[in-house]
Amino acid sequence: MIERADRVSAAYAKIVAPFTLDETLTFFCPQENVEALEHPAVRELHRFMLTEYQPPVTGKKAVMLLLPCTKVKPYSLSEEHQAINRYLLSVGFRPCEPGDHPPELLAALAQGADGRVLNNGVWERGDLLLHRFVISEPMALVPYELIYRFGGKPSPVARYDDPGLFEHRGTAVCPWRPDCTGKQAAQGYRWGDNEKAAFVEMHNRLVELIVAMLERFGDAYVARLAFVSPKLTHRSFLTSAEEKRRAGLALGRRTGQGLQPLRGVNDSLAGWVRCIPDEAEIEAILGRLAERSPGRTPRQIKGTFASGGAGVTPLVLPETLDVLGRHLDSL
């Protein structure tokens, strides 16, 4: 049986020094995610975002770029964010200010890497400001400028671990809990009614939080782009029911109480967030992958896309990054 102590021990390896894991900020199943919303550090971040936060974008047109959270903390050290930030630099974006990353993080970069990939401030190109956010469970929306420090201390978003909403991995259960209904399967565990019900509750409460945050400051941007993987939870948080149907995402979870719907930000704020790549763009990406991988089957091409060719996500692929670039060029 999976033990919580083992999961916590493994989580330490995901945090890059000088940051350290806060063991109270570890959430390994949907039930723990629901409880995470009452954690003091999580509540304080939500309170700040809902009542005090003001985007540092004035004087120019600005775009909000939503990026996925990652297992590596801080996010800027993950393969996904490194690839995205390198790409943004390559197409002409530059930091407006130095940022506040700890200098020790430079040692974690590959030899010869551009240290600007760690910059967590607003970036600019011409008359366009680029403001990055991270979609996080349980943190909701995290402005990039808070990924290292918050409230004068190391940020909680650099010190947590939350793989607890990803059923497909087979480990997002807490067998040590009396309310665990997960069942062992060929590949780990499958969720039972309690996990599914807690997932829906957490999903929809996070959506409510993101909607409330966007209602406060989302109109400071000319566009709100979400560069998120096609089938993961981050896209489900954002998409409307119709967008979920088109993308083949689940509209709900069925439990003993029937089908419980999964809401999305665009159900409340129609069209406010554009998720990229969309279905047509994904087909074009698959076509380009096929062209540079002659002899590979369509199934193999889809596998390359799903893993980004390196066991990560599609977001690191040059073809996918080019889609992001075209959207930014159009603003």
pLDDT in tens, 66-125: 999 999 999 999 999 999 999 999 999 999 999 999 999 999 999 999 999 999 999 999
Query: What pLDDT does residue 213 have?
Result: 99
CA distances from residue 151 to 30, 158, 176 in whole angstroms, order as listed: 28, 13, 34
CB 224 within 8 A of CB 57: no
Query: What pLDDT does residue 304 have?
Result: 85
Is residue 296 pLDDT above 80, yes or no?
Answer: yes
Distance CA 9, CA 23 (A): 9
pLDDT level of residue 60 (50, 70, 90 thresholds): confident
Closest CA to 255 of 181, 205, 306: 181
Is residue 184 pLDDT above 80, yes or no?
Answer: yes
CB 80 within 8 A of CB 134: no
What ranges make up the beta strands (E) of the chain?
61-68, 94-95, 123-125, 128-136, 140-143, 149-150, 153-154, 183-185, 188-190, 223-227, 252-255, 258-261, 274-276
Query: What pLDDT does residue 167 have?
Result: 87
pTM: 0.96
Mean pLDDT on 188-209: 97
Is residue 1 pLDDT above 80, yes or no?
Answer: no
What type of residue is 64? M
Average pLDDT, the chain: 96
Distance CA 176, CA 162 (A): 17
